[in-house]
Every structure is written in C-alpha cells, then in structure tokens.
Amino acid sequence: ALQRLRQCDLILIDTAGRAPRDRVHLANLRKVLQFARPQSIQLVVSASSSTAHVSQTIECFSILKPTDLLIAKLDEAVDFESWSTLLEHTPLPISYLTHGQRVPQDITPATTGRLASLLLGQQQNFWQPDCSQEDVLQQNFQQQGSQRERSERAPGELELSN
C-alpha cells in the first residue's frame, strides 16, 4: 500500500487500538512502523479516559517512540480539567484535538488557547477552527516532517504544535 501511495504528500496510517500492555501487539506494531518509517507517530489517547490510564498508555507505547500526543474524543469527555498535571509532565507535545467522528473535519490543531479553554472547563469555547481543517492538517504534518528537531524537554515544560 505504501508503494502504491508513494506520490502522495501525506499518508495517514490508522492502526487498530489495543491494550497498552499487549506486548505481542506492540511488537507487531513496532515492525510495521520500522517498515513504514513515518515522519511522525501520533499517539492517540481518549479524553474520556482517566489520567492514570492515559499516563500508563504513554509509558507503555513509549517503546514505539511516538513524536506527538493526539487527544481524541473530547466530545465524550465529562471532565478535562484534571488533565493539567498529566499534560504538564508528558514528554510528548500535544499536536491535535478531536471532537467528533468526522475526519478531517473534527480534527483541529492543539493550540495554547484551545488547551487552556479545556483545562478551565470551557469545552464550548475550544472548538474554533480558523480555516479548512484539511489544509491545517496537511500543513502541520509537512512541517513536522521537514522541520522537527526532537529534543528532550524539561519536566513541566508543556510543548504544543502550532
């Protein structure tokens, strides 16, 4: 499939969700990623999960070397305010947020303002797309692939992809 799509500017590979402690799945996924050699790996976590579960997920999937954290299902989250400590200490920058089932319409870049609205309990204010989501996704993935220089962040430093 990758060979057939080689002329495309952007290829998104959506893998099946699995339990973070499923070592067989992680080993298989690692092989797929080694073959695909992606420019970025978005670790997708559910906003409706407990922060303990998300923290464990980030740790378990770290062997796959994700480059970013994508927070999904904000439309299903009852309380996002408790995530502040988790987001403060995660080693991954938050790249995108999703709010709904439509792709790419319900995906938006994670900005400081959107995350602040969520953490302050203002879910209704965070979803304010500025332009075509498809254009934003394409631009951000291209920028990540060509400009990203990964560096270690100090604990407590929150990095956002803008």
Report yes or no: 94 and 110 within 8 Å, Cβ to Cβ: yes
Q: Which two tokens stand for residue 71?
A: 């927070």
Residues 122-160 have pLDDT tens digits of 766 566 544 444 444 555 555 555 444 444 444 444 445
CA distances from 144 to 16, 45, 148 (A): 23, 20, 5
DSSP assignment of 65-85 equals: ---EEEEE-TTT-S--GGGHH
Residues 34-89 have pLDDT tens digits of 888 888 999 999 999 999 999 999 999 998 999 999 999 988 887 787 888 888 88
The pTM score is 0.71
Q: Which two tokens stand for residue 82?
A: 């408790």
Query: Residue 39: CA atoms inside 13 Å, Cβ hemisphere, count?
Result: 15
